[in-house]
Amino acid sequence: MQDRIEKIIKDLLSVLQMARLYSTVHHEFMKSLDKAYADLAAVFEGRENLVIGLIAEELAFEKEILFELNKTAEPLVAILKNLGIEKMTFYPQLEKEELRKFISFLTTPKEEIKGQPQEYLQGLGVVHITVGKITVSASPVTGATAAGLDLRGLYAGSTESVGQAIDKALDGKQIDYLALRLALHDIMHSLSSSYQDLLQLVTVRRYDTKVAVHLLDVSILSMYFAHTLGLDKEDILDIGIAALFHDVGKLYVSRKILNKAAKLSEEEFAQIKGHVRTGAEILLNYVDTLGILPAIVAFEHHLRYDLKGYPQLAFPYKPCLPSLIVTICDVYDACFQRRSYKGTYPPNMVYDIMIKEKGRLFDSELLEKFFAVMGVWPVGTIVYLSDQRIAVVRRENKDDVFSPEVEVVFPAGKREVVDLRVQKGTLKIEYSLNPMEEGKGYLDLV
């Protein structure tokens, strides 16, 4: 299907070119229009509609971002962005004259279009093509404005999208994959341009107890880690989606068991372990929408690198790379989460806990690379220095994970950036301050 969609987009580009060279009544234009209309009609067979979306600079269809059309589709992308259109929906009842008027609309100067694009189209008599925004939350955020993103709004909107998607999966309802992928695409775009600010936001927000916050944090961490490993954009997005759903099966487990402070009985622990199979079974119902990777990661993320985890396998095999990535990011974020059965762990303790599991729970090489990227003290961590000043971690030093670059924020009026690797031996981090407790008073300074 993707090949046919790419062909249709190329048809539309050809028709647009003919409209610019001639007119929308010229015989050369009509010949190009006939071809585009015939290809559209063929795709409509058995479909209620055809939705093509715009995610940042890329066109998308259903679960796929059409990266292969990156350069080819630039003229169409430019037109859609100029008109503020993020989504085009074509319906099977579409008539060729409507398609001609739609092409004419796309070539009309913006200043000549009165009112909203959809209203203008309806005024032309085009009723079987609709245009508009892809809504992620009450306040949609688009990749087109990523350079000036309000990261808090992006994070909040994405958390809402994650929560809605999980609820729909649990209820067996259709998931708006395009909106969900848009949310992650905007985050991925921000990770490449404002990764320090976004990771700092994750550091603070992970103290929220909402399930959606944990899932989104794991997704953000997984995408960032995958990016540092040099994976392609499409693979990074796929891993981000899989990370969002990796624990969906756990939501079927009784909250009493999940929040129990006392030791679990064998029966209760069996229910906990069963969440990986449950999650995979749920996600297998969404293969057509989400692809197979989320089901695989849901099944594998507790296998452990040494395969001594769960579920037990009839035929042992090494978990796939996305599962190994999500396992690291899941445990890492969970260590910072407050639970009924534990408090939050400080970052240096999280490092000690995880590094002891190198080669057992985690792939050794991957874990080393992860901490080379994240450091012992993550970006955004509020820390108490050995000279009694308060600082916030701004940048990691990959060759010395214990000694990041920090910005002193207290005493007030004496801000300065300090590279602890350079100051090693004279200045170091003593401990971190929980941003929801003893560090709360310094959040405004961060």
The pLDDT assigned to 341 comes to 43
Burial state string for 17-55 with b = 16 or more CB within 10 A and e = fewer than 16: ebbeeeebeeeebeebbeebbebbeebbeeeeebbbbbb
Which pLDDT tens digits describe the chain residue by residue (446 residues)? 778 888 999 999 999 989 888 878 888 899 999 999 999 988 887 777 888 888 767 788 866 677 777 678 888 888 998 898 988 989 888 999 999 999 999 999 888 888 888 888 988 888 889 888 765 433 333 333 333 335 565 666 666 777 777 778 767 788 877 777 777 777 776 665 555 665 665 655 554 445 667 888 899 899 999 999 999 888 998 999 999 889 888 876 655 565 666 777 778 778 778 889 988 999 998 888 888 999 999 999 999 999 999 998 888 889 999 999 999 999 998 888 755 445 578 899 999 999 999 999 999 999 999 999 999 999 889 999 999 999 999 999 988 999 999 999 998 888 899 999 999 989 999 999 988 788 888 877 77
Which pLDDT score is estimated for 158?
67
pTM, entire model: 0.65
Give 188's Cβ-side CA count (13 Å radius). 27
Q: Are 303 and 310 in contact (CB under 8 A)?
A: yes
Instruction: Give the CA distances from residue 164 to residues 19, 255, 265, 363, in Å, rounded to whole numbers and listed in that order.
Output: 42, 19, 32, 33
Closest to 346 in 3D by CA, of 441, 269, 435, 276 = 435
353: CB partners within 8 A, 6+ apart: 335, 345
* The pLDDT of residue 216: 84
Q: Give backbone dihedrals phi and psi of 344, rounded to 5 degrees, phi first.
A: -80, 145
Number of Cβ within 10 Å of residue 64's Cβ equals: 19
Helix (H) or strand (E) holding 58: strand 58-61
| 12, containing H or E segment | helix 2-21
Report the amino acid identity of residue 203: T
For residues 378 and 90, give the distance between their C-alpha atoms in angstroms, rounded to a whole number: 46
The answer for residues whose C-beta is within 8 angstroms of residue 303's C-beta and 6 or more apart is 309, 310, 311, 313, 319, 323
Measured CA to CA, the distance from residue 384 to residue 389 in angstroms comes to 6
Residue ranges of E strands in 323-434: 382-385, 390-395, 405-410, 416-419, 429-433
- What b/e readout covers 390-425, taking b as 16+ CB neighbours within 10 angstroms? bbbbbebbeeebbbbbbebbbeeeeeeebbbeeeee
* CATH code for the structural domain at 144-374: 1.10.3210.10
**AA letter at 19:** A
Is 129 within 8 Å of 89 (Cβ atoms)? yes
Reduced to 3 states, what is the DSSP secondary structure of residue 89?
strand
